[in-house]
């Protein structure tokens, strides 16, 4: 059996409103455009599909040897420290040959913090278009 490349799972919170996911789909599309060979998918913590469990199971079914979960969240709160960690542990039990890794939350990254500060600075320029 051929082993598939590692898979990146971009993880967003989720919402009852379908349009809420559009910025995350745009991030995924831009990532795929920048790195077309990267096996990247989107998953959600709640209220939207696929769930993180479903996304990990799909990676295992595709023959991936590893997944890296990238929380597209502004901080490493309970969702990352508890919910995502527990999901990763359950996945390891279901798929013992699959390596599951969790990246830091996007909001913990210095470049993301700088981009948000730049955005806020642009917003402070009253009367100018953003």
Considering the domain boundaries, does residue 35 fall inside one? yes
Q: What is the CATH number of the domain that holds 47?
A: 3.40.50.1400
Return the pLDDT at 129.
Answer: 56
Under the banding of pLDDT at 50, 70 and 90, the label for residue 130 is low
Considering the domain boundaries, does residue 128 fall inside one? no
Under the banding of pLDDT at 50, 70 and 90, the label for residue 1 is very low
Considering the domain boundaries, does residue 92 fall inside one? yes
Peptide bond into 50 cis (omega under 30): yes
Considering the domain boundaries, does residue 1 fall inside one? no
pLDDT in tens, 71-85: 999 998 898 999 999
Considering the domain boundaries, does residue 129 fall inside one? no
The structural domain count of the chain equals 1
Check whether 68 has a pLDDT greater than 60. yes
* pTM summary value: 0.91
Considering the domain boundaries, does residue 16 fall inside one? yes
Q: Please return the burial class of 7, using the count of CB atoms within 10 Å of its CB with bins 0-12, 13-18 and 19+.
A: buried
Q: How many CB atoms lie within 10 A of CB 13?
A: 17
Range of the domain at 31: 7-123
Considering the domain boundaries, does residue 2 fall inside one? no
């Amino acid at each position: 059996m051929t082993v598939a490349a590692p898979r990146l799972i971009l993880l967003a919170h989720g919402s009852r409103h379908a349009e809420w996911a559009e910025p995350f789909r745009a991030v995924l599309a831009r990532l795929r455009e920048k790195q077309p060979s990267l096996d990247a998918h989107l998953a959600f913590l709640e209220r939207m599909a696929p769930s993180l469990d479903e996304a990990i199971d799909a990676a295992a079914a595709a023959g991936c040897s590893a997944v890296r979960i990238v929380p597209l969240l502004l901080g490493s709160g309970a969702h990352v420290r508890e919910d995502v960690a527990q999901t990763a542990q359950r996945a390891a039990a279901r798929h013992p040959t699959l390596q599951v890794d969790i990246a830091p939350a996007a909001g913990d990254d210095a470049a993301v913090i700088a981009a948000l500060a730049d955005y806020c600075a642009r917003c402070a320029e009253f009367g100018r278009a953003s």
